Amino acid sequence: MSSRENILGRIRTETSTMAEVERPPVPEVWPRTNPSTDEMIERFISEIEAVQGEVIRCTSFEDAREKLATLLDENDWNTIGAVERPICRELLSGLPEERVAWERENPDPKQMAQLPVGLVTAGKLLADTGSCLVSCDTPEQRLMCYLPSNCIVAAWVEQLVEHLPAAWDEVRASAAEPGRRGEFVIITGPSRTADIEKILILGVHGPKRLIVLLID
């Protein structure tokens, strides 16, 4: 028997006779306080605006469609990229087809980077950090979050949760689905970076502007 096998054998013998050790309880890092919807809306808006993000409240889906169209016209965004989701189809249904660049397989990243704005949807909104949890089933959906110089996230008020642990059970169940592909992206404000002199610059590694259409 080699020295290695002898040492491993002694370890196995010792550990096999050790008494069962009771594990300490898992600490609750993010306790749940169950805030009201109004409190979560206020917290979400406060947190996202603190990092130069924007929220546009919409009283209905029709209101969201109108405000999105106005937003495109006011900023001279003649073309908008969009992920293939029902809510995006509905929001952009009033625009001419030539103004919408829908996601497609194997897109040219350089062409996507030329899009003035991209539209994605959130699965959950995290009130404590003002973050959007976006499910990206394909590489194209992930690139839509990063490459256009402006990003619009469409979401419903009922998708607000207190924090990430409050959404974890649903996220975990979705991630465990056998046919599941892709990943989740957490978006918190526009892309931000600072140099050694602490000068903040937006839009270096991603969109320079983030707008959340929050639909009641």
- The mean pLDDT value for 201-208 works out to 76
What pLDDT is recorded for position 1? 65
What pLDDT is recorded for position 4? 86
Residues 134-168 have pLDDT tens digits of 999 888 999 999 999 999 999 999 999 999 999 99
What pLDDT is recorded for position 146? 92
- The mean pLDDT value for 124-135 works out to 96
Q: Specify whether the CB–CB gap between 149 and 116 falls below 8 A.
A: yes
User: Quick one: fold of 33-215?
Assistant: Rossmann fold (3.40.50)
Residue 24 has pLDDT above 80, yes or no: yes
Strands across the sheet containing 150-156:
54-58, 209-215, 150-156, 118-121, 80-82, 100-102
What pLDDT is recorded for position 83? 95
Q: Partners of 82 in the beta sheet? A: 102, 119
- The mean pLDDT value for 77-89 works out to 95
What pLDDT is recorded for position 85? 94
Alpha helices, H only, 17-138: 37-50, 61-74, 86-91, 109-113
* Tokens read off for 15: 């550990």
- Domain assignments of the chain as residue spans, ordered by start: 33-215
Higher pLDDT, 212 or 7: 212
Backbone angles phi, psi at 5, to 5 degrees: -65, -35
Nearest partner of 135 among 204, 183, 205, 193, judged by Cα: 183
Per-residue DSSP letters for 126-159?
Answer: ETTTTEEEEEE-SHHHHHHHHSSSEEEEEEEGGG
Averaged confidence pLDDT in the chain: 90
Rounded Cα distance, 108 and 122, in Å: 24
pLDDT band at 14 (very low <50, low <70, confident <90, very high): confident
Consecutive H or E run containing 52: none
